[in-house]
Structures are given as structure tokens and as C-alpha cells.
Amino acid sequence: VSDASGCSMVALLHTGAAKFPRTLLPRVRQAVRSLLAAGVLKGYGSIVSRKLASHGFGASMAAMSSFPPQRYHYFLVLDFEATCDKPQIHPQEIIEFPILKLNGRTMEIESTFHMYVQPVVHPQLTPFCTELTGIIQGMVDGQPSLQQVLERVDEWMAKEGLLDPSVKSIFVTCGDWDLKVMLPGQCQYLGLPVADYFKQWINLKKAYSFAMGSWPKNGLLDMNKGLNLQHIGRPHSGIDDCKNIANIMKTLAHRGFIFKQTSKPF
């Protein structure tokens, strides 16, 4: 593919041999923008972005091109809050059940599921739990049981088209605790089945470590700091934590990161 001066832009960018005079930059940007829009450079977007970035104008390139396509149509961001105390009470019970439906192409939030859950084994929240999560007794009293909430999750999944076999979606959590420990443990205690869609997920901590090369010891706080993002809302609010996870994912996706399942098959 040649620009107006006859240079093979893709070949030069691919080899790293391109040395653009400043007078040619506007022409190069416009030519690449046109070719990307027309689909001519499909498959070369990431190469072009990397090479132009190496020449000091990656920001303008990022503005004109989209990030690489993800493997999933939708990401379902989930973050439970549960009954807790010091020392820890057993069994723990989910008291906040939020899910954000994130479009895998735009990385924007399309839909929200959010319910509080009535605990039954330890129905009275401890002061420690309220201080940590911000959830007060009145927010869980009279709310549906976990079984009822799981039924509503399934209804929401169906309404959002997420149960269609042709639609690829996966849950995303900040750690493995939510879907490896908390949900299956409480379901086992209550004699409830665990839907198959809860049995595979992406651990954002692992994804972040793959993308950034460091492990976020303090979870969302470290990831926001590492990406220069402002923390959204209140720490340990389930719905606010979901918003932070979604924001971190969007930022990593814009940097070219492709999210992959991190959980092992059940």
C-alpha cells in the first residue's frame, strides 16, 4: 500500500525503517486514517499503531484507530459483597449481587443487574460488615433469598440475549474468590445448583499482571494507580467495584490487551 509519495507504508512501518519528515506527517496520518476506515489495512492496525508510536505520535494514531477485537461479545463484570466479621463468620452469605454487561467491541456498559440479598444463616449484619461494605441492615431486610436472586439473574441473562449459544460471554471478577469459593460454597450449603455460565471467568488481577508485568497486591487500588485512573465510588461497594473493574478493562483494551479466560475448567 503506497501513500502519495509512493512509499510502501505498511512495509516500512513493519520493518521499522520508516523515517517520516515532519512535513509528511499530516499526509501519512490522513492516508492511514482513510485506509483504516476503508478496511484496506485490516489486520495491520496493531502494527501501524506500534510503529507510529515508536516515532512519537502514538496518541494521534490511537485516536484514529480502534483497539483490537476481543474474543468475547460481552464481559459480565461481577463483584459480590458478603456477610463478614473478625474473626470471620461461617458460612459467609452473599448480600450484594451486581453484574455489569460490558460490550466486548466498545468496552462500554450496556446493562446492569443489581440486587441485595437477604442472608438467612446470619440475618443480622455485623458492625464490621456494615463499616466495610457500606451495606446497612435495612438494605438486606426483606430482600429476595439467594435462590430467588439467581432465578432473576437467569431471567436477566435471557433478556439480554446472553443465553444464546452464538453469543460468547464470560464473567470477570477481581480475584477468584467470587466464583471459585463464594458462590459455589453457598450454593452447596443451600443445596442449590450452580449455572454453567458461572463456571468460567477472567480474574482481572491475572489479566492485569499479564498486561502490565506486575501483580496488583492491593487489587483495584493498585490497578487504578498503575493505570493512572481515579477510583470510582466507595471501596468494597459491589456495584462501585464493578464500575472500577469495567474502567480498568476498558483502559487495558485500549492499550491493545486481549482478555482470555483464566479459570480452570470445573
Who's near 107: CB < 8 A, 6+ residues apart? 67, 246, 249, 250, 253, 254
Q: Is the pLDDT of residue 98 over 50?
A: yes
Q: 43-89, pLDDT tens digit by residue?
A: 444 444 444 344 333 433 343 346 889 999 999 999 999 999 999 99
Q: 162-200, pLDDT tens digit by residue?
A: 999 999 999 999 999 999 999 999 999 999 999 999 999
Selected residue with higher pLDDT from 250 and 41:
250
Give me the mean pLDDT over the 257-265 stretch.
Answer: 94
Confidence (pLDDT) at 68: 85
Q: Is the pLDDT of residue 35 over 70?
A: no
Partnered with residue 169 across adjacent β-strands are 74
DSSP string, 11-39: HHHHHT-----GGGHHHHHHHHHHHHHHT
Region for residue 107 given its phi and psi (left: phi exceeds 0; alpha: psi -120 to 50; beta: otherwise): left
Give me the mean pLDDT over the 224-245 stretch.
Answer: 97
CATH code, 74-255? 3.30.420.10
SS3 state at 203: strand
Q: Is the pLDDT of residue 244 over 80?
A: yes
Residue 27 binned pLDDT confidence (cut-offs 50, 70, 90):
low
Selected residue with higher pLDDT from 229 and 60:
229
Region for residue 90 given its phi and psi (left: phi exceeds 0; alpha: psi -120 to 50; beta: otherwise): beta
Write down how long the chain is. Answer: 266
In angstroms, the CA 223 to CA 239 distance is 17
Confidence (pLDDT) at 67: 81
Give me the mean pLDDT over the 20-49 stretch.
Answer: 46
Give me the mean pLDDT over the 242-247 stretch.
Answer: 98
Write the CA distances from 99 to 12, 13, 110, 151, 238, integer angstroms: 45, 41, 11, 14, 9
Confidence (pLDDT) at 265: 77
Task: Give catalytic residues, as residue numbers.
Answer: 81, 236
Give percent of the chain with pLDDT exceeding 70.
Answer: 75
In angstroms, the CA 23 to CA 39 distance is 26
Give me the mean pLDDT over the 248-264 stretch.
Answer: 96
Give me the mean pLDDT over the 197-215 stretch.
Answer: 98
In angstroms, the CA 30 to CA 117 distance is 54
Asked if 234 contacts 134 with a C-beta cutoff of 8 angstroms, the reply is yes
Alpha helices in the chain (DSSP H): 9-15, 25-38, 45-54, 58-64, 127-133, 137-140, 146-159, 183-190, 204-212, 220-226, 238-254
C-alpha grid cell for residue 69? 477485537
Write the CA distances from 88 to 66, 85, 102, 126, 128, integer angstroms: 46, 5, 33, 11, 10
For the full predicted model, state whether its pTM sits above 0.85: no
Domain extent listing, the chain: 74-255
Residue 31 binned pLDDT confidence (cut-offs 50, 70, 90):
low
pLDDT averaged over every residue in the chain: 83
In angstroms, the CA 134 to CA 159 distance is 30
Q: Is the pLDDT of residue 103 over 70?
A: yes
